[in-house]
Structure 1
Amino acid sequence: MQRQTRQILSALLAPLAMLTSQWASAQSSPAIYPPPANPAPLPQADAFYSPPPASDLSAVAPGTLLRIREITAKAYYLFPVKGQAWQVMYRSTNRSGEAIAMMGTVLVPENAPITGRKLMAYNVAYDALTLRCAPSYSFVKGAALEQALIQGALKNGLVVMAPDYEGLKSYWTDGLISGQGVLDGIRAAENFQQAGLNGASTPVVITGYSGGSLASTWANELYKSYAPELNIKGVAAGGVPVDLGNVARKVDGTLFAGVYFGAVAALANSYPEVDPASLVNAKGAEMLVKAQDMCLGQFLTGAPDPLTAFAFQKMKNLTVVPDLLAVPRVKDVIAKNRLGQRLPGAPLYIYQGTIDELMPIADVDALVKSYCSKGVKVTYRRSINDHLLLAVTGWGKALDFLMDRLDDVPVTSTCQ
């Protein structure tokens, strides 16, 4: 009787075992592509960037490597990045829970230790509505403005994953997609044999400034619910856009008005239910089309910049409503992308300039206060800096904080 029962169970479980084996095999065998041509084609013309069918994506787990190819990473067009570099495509998840493909770049420095390697997820502030400015393409082209900052991590022997966290459709300012893209990028790097990491037990830190800080803080807020198996030791974020509506109000009509205009176009792409065509006049419709090929502050890429295109313009002159930010469906999108609605999973270092032209410091103060009240360990540094200057001057202490977390130095906090 027992033998018969075992035979029946074996027959029932055999297909499941085979399916599990096939699933595991698919996850461990990414497609290997040849290096890109020199000069590399734009992502829109590069087959490596073309996503697999939805059925293939949904068949694998988030963070699964789909494709890899080795690249020659360059800094500022001329200088090779010492070490090895790969572009990787991996599986992530959109806001609706559907499987999507995402791109990232893995950098392994020459001085990376043979064992016990540690990982930094570095989130570039590429603020783009086009893949032309995606970090994965910028590393190949040599157009990554933040390479000098990333070099600090590489000099410390850290493996770096720089995800294209906006996704293949360039959903700039979409918090959920960005945060999940960062976390799945970490999973992908840990699944990547050539990175030499120790799977989910790998010590990880996350960082980013401005648009990169949006991705970093969202990743930290989603960490425990979306990727609790990861070993994230700390997160550093500077120039944090806490509330996109308040950022828009601050920059509207100023030199930085293009941030507002570009973000509206990006969120309209990500949230088609906003129906922007019904909210703008002819000039606004022209703006939405014009913005689709733009990136913020990425002048090395040659892409047009919303800062120069829309400087000193007022949004009210482009809409058929008196206040775009007061439209209920627009308010709903802004509310969904507001930071502070979830509990961060790792200790935080937040740095903010008191004369930041873009980010309202009151929002950052309130976010820190909220985190502290919930027991999150936060180190908060305010300094007399504007938005652009702090990106450079604030990086040293942010990196020190992250290296301390990786070295298991006890965490301190400025929370009262």
Structure 2
Amino acid sequence: MHFATPRLRRLAVTTALTCFAATGIVTGATEAAAAPVSAFYHPPEQFATAPGSIIRTEPTSVYATIPGDQWPVPGQLVMYTSRLQDGSPVAVTGTYVAGTRPWQGAGNRPTIVIAPGTAGQGDQCAASVAVSTGLIVDVERRSMSPNQEAVALAAWSALGANVFITDYIGLGTPGIHTYVNRAESAHAVLDAARAAVTLAGTGTSTPLAFWGYSQGGGATAAAAELHPEYAPELNLKGVWAGAPPADLTAVIGQIDSGNLIGGAIGFALNGFRERHPALAAEVDRRTTPAGKATLDALATQCIGDVILRQPFLRSSALTIDGRPLPDHLRELPGATTILTAQRIGNRIPTAPVLLTSGINDDTIPYPQVRQLAQDWCAHTTTVTFRTNHLPAIAPGTTLPNHFGPELIDGFVDNVIPYLLDRLADKPLSGCTFD
């Protein structure tokens, strides 16, 4: 594999790690207003329905990044049009930060679309809400949400790229966030790319790369699959899908075994219940009143709130008969159909994809990520699969075993050089595994 020059690699890595260390210093906690989000997040009654259309923008200042020629960095809150799984239009928000430094890579200035990792399901958890200061604290709701993508934003901004961070469908905007919904996640990412190249004024020839880990990795993997049919006009050069939840049955089984963020199962169930009323009725029939109250509470919480309020939650605590919810779902043909429809790996990306996974990841199972690589390779997709061999540390606690590989792969080892090479059109084909 060809990698970026050592100078570019050092610049990206140093900037990212400096930002990671500095965010606790330069960011501040701000008390949210009475409403979880501002009026910006409420779409007009009528808006342009073409996917990727810009509905509105609003200036914002990004303090949670590395000071450079400009600080705070000017950005824009963006509302754009995307599509629900049934094809109907929906308003989605995100953040666009135009590159203000000269592009340090080869070719024209690219746009990097970032799909965030798990933030939660409450509107206050949207990445754009915390993008300015890096952290928002909603005292009234006893909720806290950091901007998890501050490091990636800083790294790519330092290299001179344009950056767009999507909030996904239903985060900030009205309606439930459809967590790990394959089609809706892909639509949000691809339509964010359409909106970003419009804002940049560079059109569909703009070189694009997608960046995502965990929930974000699932979103970028799904977007890579749908790109040829949903947004073929986009000039997608490369994709990082880190620890993607490609097989939800395997993922749910793992995090329901006593994982620190086991409550994330509730995010998935809430999203699927919203789109499938028959499933909602079946789940309600099997859960206790306390279980229903927990699912309702999770719909308003961020992932940090889950860690503080429902750590190591098991779904068996929610059901009438004390059996895990996955056992119940396996007995429901409708649920099986829904989960099967979420499977990533049944379509064929045309852009090169880097898949990474920690062999000791205790949250997103390693085998199903490797299986995704094998599925794509069977269809001649250009796939690079990288295994992170970080030793297991306190299994079930998520932070070292799941987020450790993200920091190592994303900012120290593989990902930035890989994407710089794809943006430079360095040749790559076939499949490689390690």
TM tier, smaller: 0.7 to 0.9
Distance 2:432 2:66 in 1: 43
Identify the structure with the greater helix proportion. Answer: 1
Distance in 2, Cα, partners of 1:166 & 1:100: 8
Q: For residues 111-138 of structure 1, what are the alpha-carbon distances to aligned partners after superposition, in whole Å with 9 as ceiling and x for unaligned?
A: 0459932100011114321120101111
Work out whether residues 93 and 181 of structure 1, in 8 Å CA contact, stay in contact via their aligned partners in 2: yes
RMSD over equivalenced CA pairs, Å:
2.5
Q: 1:280 touches 1:319 (CA, 8 Å); kept in 2?
A: yes
Q: Whole-Å Cα distance in 2 between the matches of residues 262 and 284 of structure 1?
A: 13
Alignment partner, residue 46 of structure 1: 38
Q: 2:402 matched to 1:390?
A: no
Shift of 1:409: 1.0
Q: Percent of aligned positions with the same letter in both sequences?
A: 28
| 2:75 corresponds to which of 80, 85, 90 | 85
What's the counterpart of residue 310 of structure 2? 310
CA contact under 8 A between 2:37 and 2:129: conserved in structure 1?
no
What stretches of structure 1 move > 6 A for 4+ residues in a row?
Answer: 76-80
Length-normalised TM-score, structure 2: 0.78
Indicate the larger mover: 106-115 or 229-238. Answer: 106-115
TM-superposed deviation, 1:320: 3.7
Measured after TM superposition, the shift of residue 330 of structure 1 is 2.0
Matches within 5 A, 1:58-97: 59-75=48-64, 83-97=73-87
After TM superposition, the structure 1 = structure 2 runs for residues 126-205 of structure 1, keeping only pairs within 5 Å, are: 126-143=118-135, 144-167=147-170, 168=173, 169=175, 170-192=177-199, 195=200, 197-205=201-209
TM-score by length of 1: 0.82
**For 1:394, what is the secondary structure of its paired residue?**
helix
Paired amino acid for 1:398 = V
Distance 2:373 2:208 in 1: 22
3-state SS in 2 of match to 1:121 = strand
State the structure with more CA Rg.
Answer: 1
The answer for the alignment partner of 1:346 in structure 2 is 351
Contact map agreement 2:356 2:387 (CA 8 A) in 1: yes
> CA separation of 1:129/1:373 partners in 2, compared to 1, >3 Å: closer, same or farther?
same
Deviation at 1:174, TM superposition (A): 1.3
Which amino acid letter does the alignment assign opposite residue 80 of structure 2?
A: Y
Q: By how many angstroms is 1:161 displaced? A: 0.6
Instruction: Say whether 1:286 aligns with 2:293.
Output: yes
CA pair 157-78 structure 1, distance change in 2 beyond 3 A: closer
The alignment of Structure 1 onto Structure 2 pairs a total of residues equal to: 366
Partners of 1:43 and 1:75 in 2: how far apart?
23
Which residue in 2 is equivalent to 1:241? 245
What letter is aligned with 1:91? Answer: T
Indicate the residue corresponding to 1:19 in structure 2: none
CA contact (8 A) 2:61 2:73 kept: no
Cα deviations by residue, 1:71-105 (Å, 9 ceiling, x for unpaired)? 11121899986532001111111111111111111
Determine helix, strand or coil for the equivalent of 2:131: helix
Q: 1 or 2 for the larger relative contact order (CA 8 Å, sep ≥6)?
A: 2
SS of residue in 1 equivalent to 2:245: coil
Deviation at 1:106, TM superposition (A): 0.5
Report the Cα distance in structure 1 between the residues aligned to 2:222 and 2:229, rounded to whole angstroms.
12
- Aligned pairs for 1:111-130 within 5 A: 111-112=101-102, 116-130=108-122
Q: Look up the equivalent residue of 2:286 and give its one-letter code.
A: L
CA–CA distance in structure 1, aligned partners of residues 92 and 355 of structure 2: 27
